[in-house]
Amino acid sequence: MARNLKVLSAGAVQQGLSRVAEAFRLNGAGNIEIEFATAPAIAKRMAAGYPTDVVVAPPDFLDTFTTTGLLASQIVPLGRIGVGVMVRAGAPLPGIASIAEFKQSLRIAEQIIYNQASTGIYLDKLFHRLGVAAELEAKTTRYPDFAAVRNHVVNGHGNAIGFGATTVIAESAGKGVAFVGPLPMEIQNYTAYAAALTATASDGAAPFMNYLATSAAKSILRSAGIE
């Protein structure tokens, strides 16, 4: 019996990718084990020779490992995901309909919480661009992954604002957080995601890559908020 395919993936696409993997399995094409991690954690595992067939991450990240020979050159685009805002369930919703409202909400928030991955990197740059970085620094907490950000928001108190990929925030609705909405369009940032075979991928990994490129898989991804 062939072993399960192993996929190492960024967490933002968890809901959509898990659904695609299940559809692939139901089609009789094989079982897939997916491990979700942040980009820094994926990079460490790749460098350490972690056994993986497929890696799902932003294209720039994949390109880095393609040049070192750890990944195959061909990638399959999956879609893009924006940045969203969340608060503790039951807390007042901050205004984010415009840049002015968003800046005011940041200023009056007691806590700002976000991750150290692609979302957090963008937010650092955005807050500097909006001229509020210095004001927010003392009340900002950053965590390695979204789960820790969500837990902080859920277990926090007062007027706290958390950030994350829109997909994972929406997925967490009803689990102690409320999805306020995406960032205003003028300052929205989309992170693209794609899949690539590793240089040591098993023969059975190619059919899964082919499936990711089908209209059926794309439809599943869109239903999970991956545009």
- Residue pLDDT, tens place only, 85-100: 999 999 999 999 999 9
Amino acid 115 reads N
Q: Are residues 111 and 67 in the same domain?
A: no
In this prediction, residues 118-137 reach a mean pLDDT of 95
* Order of strands, sheet of 83-88, starting from the edge strand that comes earlier in the sequence: 140-143, 111-115, 160-165, 83-88, 177-182
Q: Are residues 71 and 165 in the same domain?
A: no
pLDDT tier at 13, thresholds 50, 70, 90: very high
Q: Are residues 90 and 150 in the same domain?
A: yes
In this prediction, residues 216-225 reach a mean pLDDT of 90
Model pTM score:
0.78
Find the domain containing 90 and state its range.
Answer: 83-187
Find all residues with CB under 8 Å of 78, minimum gap 6, and list them. 13, 16, 17, 56, 192, 193, 194, 195, 212, 221, 226
The total domain count for the chain is 2
